[in-house]
Chains A and B, each alone.
Chain A
Amino acid sequence: MVPRVLVLRSAGSNCDEETGFAFEMVGGRADLVHINSVLRKKVRPEDYHILAVPGGFCYGDDISAGKILANELRYQLAETLLDFHRQGKLIIGICNGFQVLVKAGLLPSVDFQAPQQVTLTINNSRKYEDRWVYLSVDRSKCVFTKDMPDVIELPVAHTEGKFVAKDIGVLNALELNSQIVFQYTRPDGAKVAYPWNPNGSMNHIAGICDPSGRVLGLMPHPERHIDPTHHPRWTRRGLAEEGDGVAVFRNAVQYFLERKN
């Protein structure tokens, strides 16, 4: 059995190819599918195991990041996505995809009726920044982080990546439910501030999952740390076996391979 991945494209997606490639590298089969094909029912999400919303600037992020695609999911595909999730399938949103998931109502829990609980807003530095970060990993709940090391390195590249919760109650609930999957950190244990936390996110949050652990959203780009030469200091430390990001995709694909066995 080969788990099938629907990489959802739209106007302005731009990390779709490398995201599909990462899934295929670890044994998945990825199709890059335009949202119009889903809305016009030419492609059925139910034929897939994993839905990946890739990075990019969907519709230019013109109103706010991810908003237009998020509304397409929320108002036109809610039933389909509820079924998808109910069937135990996986959803991942990376960078722009994370922004889409929180605005669509897929994170912090799959609920299309409740008002938005959290958001990703403009960085404290007010500008787009591409830089590598250290992330501490919570492995307790999320399907995608199984067996990952305590700390990994990935790049971030965004303007609107500052994680903000509506109020302290939302933040506490995320923590209590082990939904905070990735947090910006620094390897020497010192206080985490800019640029280690690159955008000013509350509680240094870089990625969260839903209570089931099957929906993950994160600002950093695991698909940009696949090949050992992706690492910014590979010329200093030598080539690793594989990039830190591979595990995210492998865990997702393995989840189905193991489940079926």
Chain B
Amino acid sequence: MVTRIELATKPDFFDAEGAALRDAAQDLGIVSIRQVYTRKVYYFSGVVSHAVQQRIAEALLADVVTQDYAIDEQIHCPADKEVWSVEITFNRGVTDMVAETALKGIRDLGIQDITEAKTARRFEFTGNLTEGEKELVVEKLLMNKVVEHLLQPGETIFFPTADDRFTLVQVALVDADDSDLLRISKQRDLFLSLEEMKTIRRHFRDLGREPTDVELEMVAQTWSEHCSHKTLKGSIDYNGQRIDNLLKQTVFKVTEELNKPWCVSVFKDNAGIIEFDDEFNICFKVETHNHPSAMEPYGGANTGIGGVIRDPLGTGLGAKPVINTDVFCFGPVDMKMSDVPKGVLHPKRVMQGVVAGVRDYGNRMGIPTTNGSVFFDERYLGNPLVFCGNVGLIPRDKCEKTIVPGDAILVIGGRTGRDGIHGATASSGELHTESEGTWSGAVQIGNPIVEKKIVDTLMQARDRGLYRAITDCGAGGLSSAIGELAASTGAEVDLEKVPLKYHGLSYMEIWISEAQERMVIFVPPEKVKDALELFASEDVEATVIGRTTDDKKIRLRYKGTVVGELDVDFLHDGLPETVRKAVWQKPAIAESPRPEKIDYTKVLHDILASPNVCSKEWIVRQYDHEVQGGSVLKPLVGAANDGPGDASITRPRLGSQKAVILSNGLNPKYGLIDPYWMAASAIDEALRNVIAVGGSLDRTALLDNFCWGNTEKPDRLGGLVRAAQACYDVAKVFETPFISGKDSLNNEFQTDSGEAIAIPPTLLVSAISVMDDARKAVSMDFKKNGSFIYVVGETKNEMGGSHYYDLLGLTSPSVPTVDGKEAREIFTRLSAAIANGCVRACHDCSEGGVAVAVAEMAFAGGLGASVCLRTMPRTSDVSRNDIALFSESNSRFVVEVDPKRADDFEEIMSLLPYGYIGEVKNSGKLLIRSLNEMILINEKIADLKESWQKTLRW
């Protein structure tokens, strides 16, 4: 028996979601909708009386103040004609967490007869919609067919449970020829090359038997780009020069050479660890979740942030997650719908979904999201980038795992379903127009409350010493987690013990499923009982599924039958080495002639309004950036709490003023000219932001996230080599080690016509810095009438990739460079000046140059400024006002100084390039004079701010 309960907002109350949908439809050009009425629907399976149905509706589901309910019927809107109704529900197997919670709520009411639940959403639209418009509304606004579908009348809601089938599957590999091998790799979505398949064939020929399906899958997963990073750790022939293990030669090497005593654990655990204070260390990891986010933005981003939170949680013996960060790259959000290629979601929808996904997970986890940025470029259209990062706080004596034979292996948290099968291997391939259908198994939706419960209980278990090792189930699921954690010992697992969401999974699916919210811990046998009790006390599922061994084999059993047995050495060291070709040539980019008749005021407005520069308040406010009670410098600062802060500052320990600064740098526009300088600029920018808020280089570490096109293509890989070399060179000079990183390759989209669109080479650099006293922080908003304004750092004629040139359609081969030695000196001295209390405000110069930086400081402070370009430090070839205003040269700051402290400031900065350029004025206007002191710009700050805010005021 199925009970259907529908809820509707009472007629006198505001249906906020309905109103928002009508507005969104208007954005799509659909003006025929008069009203939208939204309904929540619950389905329940179980034989219950009408009285019980009523009790469920009234005591649990309905908010009786604002909602009406109906049992087994629909609640119709008042209109009697031109009403169109659609109901949407999740596809089978997709996480429906509201349904799971409803089941708990029903049991809490003492009702035992309901066994299953499912939710749906119903909408009634009034107005004369055409069939085409209806289709558009469904497809573009209401649902994503990857996870949902339109519910048809009479459709089965609850299915009888499937049987736990068991057939041992062997794959005929031993006698297969090369073409068979390739066919097997393709058919099984293994994404293994011929060379790799031949290596596996050789291994099983030696063993004298065929591999089982699960063995083959485990090898494919372990050897996938996602898990093994075989490109960057493999050999590269770069312009004829051989590089063995690019990462080892660059980002790892700089850390090794700098050899900072405060680096606790780098590049080996799930996150990099550095020292924080006497009792705690901090760890930091940034991951990407690009391909899932392209297919299902909400679920992709949701599980992206959920996944990266599990990295610090799985680092050492587990860190408490304390800060989130996120950085996105999207296609242009103002793109015409008709220009969006088939198989691609509109960038605005991708952005809305991604932001909502990060929001709903991060906020529910109770982790402040304090830092981030967004970058738009049309080459991200088919391949958006979603970077999610998490910082964890970990006791100093809990940073190492111990792996010994004989420990129990427990899986804790979420149950295992068919979700996410082949995520690791799929993310290593290119996207194409058929992605939606073929890889839907790889997309999931997270359940943050399950993960929150894991954090709550794990921290207790850790502090009680109940386990010896921990890792997360990410890409590759249990296969990857146990395969890696038990690599030094071996392990045996009884797969039928793994708790399942539903019956019918094969042993292979259980082993490689990427179901969310699962951690694996190794527990000493004598502590299993205590551990199980602790998890049960807060309703966290924990199950013993196997044990560590001493034979260095991963042995898998299903109901007693051995279904797989692999040598860990073959798994982890058997991957054949290949040499990839890489070339890089300076692209031929012309220097555009000098633009004529520039209206500088208009250009300034246009740059402020450009998507990459404009206010991101729409995103920032949707994230809880203050939970955990440690917010010091919020992402939005200034007189009206809405100016663009350079970096966030957070105190991760209540009652202590010791703080963590987080910032990032990202400059894909430069990458198309020279990835070397792009990488250098990204590092400079991330560090600039740390300095600008009052941090120093002293205890600052970096993370790298390379997102590239298909690196099988030599030109793509060549750019990556150059970027990695810059990471070494620049981090070396700044003495800022890399502590962790991740790469995502194959970010290309194949259009219908077969054209491959690669993303621009994109390196995200994230910086994390420890600040001794949070109360020394400064923000970027001008504070006081009469303050002196200085520019620190030299402005150069480097217009390539600048927002100004982009706006005017101009090109230049000279991209911003970094003079590391001078930059280091500037950063160090400015940091000293801020610590010294001379500085009232400081803002880094980045996109849009000095003009944008001063404008932002002026309107964020609600004051104004009068400045002149003549005294700005600059190279001799900066003779044009537009270059002085808008050049994006690195290592520069605009600084507000207390006039009484100006002498001190100048003394600290002596012999460095700096210049007094004017004063803060309480004029409400920004006045900028030219190199020869003529008025160039004289504009109301309110108008500049409006330009900056209007673009993403959704």
Contacts and interface: CB of A to CB of B under 8 A. Distances in A.
A235 B777 contact: yes
A57 interface: yes
A56 B366 contact: yes
B589 interface: no
Nearest to B42: A63
B102 A14 contact: no
Contacts of B64: 115-116
A54 to B, nearest CB: 10
A36 B537 contact: yes
Contacts of B579: none
Interface stretch (B200-208, B626-634, B821-829): B626-634
B800 to A, nearest CB: 35
Contact of B637 (A9, A71, A232): A232
A236 to B, nearest CB: 6
Contacts of B60: 63, 67, 71
Contact of A62 (B16, B97, B538, B637): B97
Contacts of B98: 60, 62-63
A207 B101 CA distance: 28
B774 A229 contact: yes
Interface string B769-789: 000001101110101000000
A196 to B, nearest CB: 12
A63 B101 CA distance: 7
Interface in B1-43: 13-14, 16-17, 19-20
Contact of A57 (B109, B364, B538, B781): B364
A140 interface: no
A34 B538 contact: yes
A157 interface: yes
Interface in A115-153: 115-119, 121-132
B538 A36 contact: yes
A118 B778 contact: no
Interface string B40-81: 000000000000000000011101111000000000000000
B624 interface: yes
B101 A60 contact: yes
A159 to B, nearest CB: 8
B108 A75 contact: yes
Nearest to A157: B624
Contacts of B590: none
B626 A230 contact: yes
A181 interface: no
Nearest to B65: A119
A155 interface: yes
Contacts of A121: 13, 63, 65-66
A72 to B, nearest CB: 6
Contact of A164 (B61, B65, B452): B65
B14 A200 contact: yes
Given A116-B64, A124-B14, A200-B14, A236 B639 contact: yes
A130 B629 contact: no
B843 interface: no
A62 B60 CA distance: 11
B364 A236 contact: no
A14 B774 CA distance: 23
A37 B621 CA distance: 35
A164 B66 contact: yes
A230 B631 contact: yes
B886 interface: no
B105 interface: yes
A11 B535 CA distance: 12
Nearest to A170: B65
Interface residues of A, number: 64
A11 B366 contact: no
B623 interface: yes
Contacts of A122: 16-17
Interface string A166-186: 100000000000000000000
A157 B627 contact: yes
A62 B105 CA distance: 10
B639 to A, nearest CB: 7
B65 A128 contact: no
B626 A57 contact: no
Contacts of A125: 16
A239 B775 contact: yes
Nearest to A57: B364
A63 B62 CA distance: 8
A11 B16 contact: no
A11 B629 contact: no
Nearest to B620: A130
Interface in B767-814: 774-775, 777-779, 781, 783
A92 B591 CA distance: 66
Nearest to B21: A126
A59 interface: yes
Nearest to A103: B63
Contacts of B108: 68, 71-72, 75-76
Interface string B601-633: 000000000000000000011111111110111
Nearest to B450: A11
A59 B449 contact: yes
Interface stretch (A44-52, A81-89, A208-216, A219-227): A219-227
Interface in A1-57: 9, 11-15, 17-18, 21, 25, 34, 36-37, 55-57
A64 interface: yes
A128 B449 contact: no
Contacts of A25: 655
Contacts of A126: 16-17, 19-20
A128 B366 contact: no
Contact of A235 (B110, B365, B623, B779): B779
A38 B417 CA distance: 33
Given A57-B364, A63-B61, A129-B622, A68 B14 contact: no
A228 to B, nearest CB: 8
Contact of B629 (A132, A166, A200, A223): A223
A145 B916 CA distance: 49
B456 A21 contact: no
Interface string B97-123: 110111011001110000000000000
A168 to B, nearest CB: 11
A183 B633 CA distance: 27
A233 interface: yes
B539 interface: yes
Contacts of A9: 456
Nearest to B9: A121
A67 B629 contact: no
Interface in B432-469: 447-449, 452-453, 456
Nearest to B455: A14
Interface string B629-658: 101111011110100000000010011010
B418 interface: no
Given A12-B364, A21-B655, 4 more contacts: A68-B104, A68-B105, A116-B63, A122-B16
Closest 3 CB pairs of A and B: A14-B366, A18-B629, A62-B101
Interface of A: 9, 11-15, 17-18, 21, 25, 34, 36-37, 55-57, 59-60, 62-64, 67-68, 71-72, 75-76, 103, 115-119, 121-132, 155, 157, 164-166, 200, 221, 223-224, 226-230, 232-233, 235-236, 239
22 contacts: A14-B364, A14-B627, A15-B628, A17-B654, A18-B654, A34-B537, A55-B627, A60-B448, A62-B98, A67-B63, A75-B109, A76-B108, A119-B65, A122-B17, A123-B16, A126-B16, A126-B20, A130-B626, A165-B65, A223-B629, A226-B629, A236-B781
